[in-house]
Amino acid sequence: MELRHLRYFRAIGREEHFGRAAAQLRVAQPALTRQIRDLEAELGVELFERLPRGVRLSAAGHVFLADVEEILAQVDRAVDRARLLASGHLGTIRVGLSEIIAGHDFISYGLLNFRAAEPGVALDLRSMSSMQQIMALKDGTLDVGMVYDAHIDERDAPLLGRARIGVGETMLATHEGHRLAGRASVSMAELADEPALWPTRRTSPGYYDRLAAACKAAGVMPRVVQECTTNSILLSLVAVGMGIGFVTASPPLSSFHNIRLVPISDLGLHFDVLLVWRASDRSAALGRFLDRMAGEASDGGPAPAPPAPPVTPIR
């Protein structure tokens, strides 16, 4: 028994007429009659009562037609799903996000717009540090990450595809009551004696090294009073006035409770926001995600750029 036998039977069962079914199927009527007789012989039952004009489903034929309708509907759904999956309109994409990257508004809007454009593709969003994202990409448990360029180690660069979707500027984060909170900008010299909250190198070595190098180049190393393992911890301590902090953000700036972000005139530290994925991954759904996120960046932010050269951490 083949699928064509079921399709032939369904057409005749619906029409209860071989001639009309043959015309609908574009099959010669004698060939169609022969196929149905072969099907009845295989089943060992008569599916139709032969009448002087046309045919009528037998009791067994009625039951068989109901099951055939369900079987062929499932086959059609399977074909549609396979085609959608192959074209990238169906599937699941595992997306890594760190706290600091998720703070960029264009990331949130890009994810929202992708979901609206591709309802058949589920986004499995996972909160992970940048280093964890790189490891998960390499071991195949993550499909795409969003990290700063500082987190790409030169040893991993050949394994990863990259596209720039935005840029963040490192700014001063201070309590709204701080003497510098209302300024249009500040200089590094003005921060020399300020108690500073600082990232830990263990969790973000590339970011830490770039920030430390930029401060050194500006001639001022902050007076660190507390290292923070996450961006949210740093901001929560800034919000209660424990010290100043350095936060990488992009316009339009999101508001933080009790916190003001102030540009630093002579720091000049920027990080590219990158989409990162396995260079060997040929998933169609992932391709659509990358195209959509890059398109959002070109519409509302910095245009995507060719992969950046590998960054060697400052030691």
Residue 300 vs residue 234, higher pLDDT: 234
**Percent of the chain clearing pLDDT 70 (strictly above):** 92
Nearest one of 104, 88, 86 to 146, comparing CA atoms: 104
Region 111-124: what's the mean pLDDT?
94
> Cα separation of 17 and 221, whole Å?
90
Residue ranges of the domains in the chain?
Answer: 3-87, 92-164+273-300, 167-270
Give the least confident one: 27-31, 54-58, 99-103: 99-103
Check whether the bond before 252 is cis (ω within 30° of 0): yes
Give me the pLDDT at residue 303, please. 37
> Cα separation of 207 and 204, whole Å?
5
> Cα separation of 245 and 237, whole Å?
9
Locate tokens 């180690």: which residue? 153
Give the least confident one: 24-38, 85-99, 146-160, 289-303: 289-303
Residue 189 vs residue 83, higher pLDDT: 189
Residue 13 CB contacts under 8 Å (≥ 6 apart), including other chains: 47, 57, 61, 65, 68
Beta bridge partners of 291: none
197 burial via Cβ count (<10 Å: 0-12, 13-18, 19+)? buried
> Cα separation of 25 and 16, whole Å?
14
Amino acid at site 236 = S
Give me the pLDDT at residue 269, please. 95
> Cα separation of 260 and 181, whole Å?
6
Establish whether domains 3-87 and 92-164+273-300 are of one fold. Answer: no
Among the CATH numbers 1.10.10.60, 3.40.50.2000, 3.30.2130.30, 3.40.190.10, which is that of 92-164+273-300? 3.40.190.10
> Cα separation of 133 and 127, whole Å?
9
> Cα separation of 143 and 279, whole Å?
10
Q: Tell me: the pLDDT tens digits for 228-273? A: 998 889 999 999 999 999 999 876 555 577 899 999 999 999 999 9
Q: What length is written for the chain?
A: 315
Evaluate whether 259 touches 235 at the Cβ level (below 8 Å): yes
Mean pLDDT over each residue of the chain, to the nearest integer: 88
Give me the pLDDT at residue 298, please. 59
Q: Tell me: the pLDDT tens digits for 45-54? A: 999 998 887 7
Give me the pLDDT at residue 301, please. 42
DSSP string, 27-44: --HHHHHHHHHHHHHHHT
> Cα separation of 147 and 284, whole Å?
22
Evaluate whether 249 touches 172 at the Cβ level (below 8 Å): no
The token pair at 5 is: 């036998």
Locate tokens 């290292």: which residue? 227
Residue 74 CB contacts under 8 Å (≥ 6 apart), including other chains: none
Give Cα 39 to chain centroid, integer Å.
Answer: 48
- SS3 of residue 291 by DSSP: helix
Q: Tell me: the pLDDT tens digits for 32-90? A: 999 999 999 999 999 999 888 778 999 999 999 999 999 999 999 999 888 888 888 89
Confidence of residue 180 (pLDDT cuts 50, 70, 90): very high
pTM summary value: 0.73
Residue 24 has pLDDT above 50, yes or no: yes
Q: Which fold has domain 3-87?
A: Arc Repressor Mutant, subunit A (1.10.10)
What class, spelled out in words, does domain 167-270 have in CATH? alpha beta
The token pair at 293 is: 């996120």
Evaluate whether 188 touches 264 at the Cβ level (below 8 Å): yes
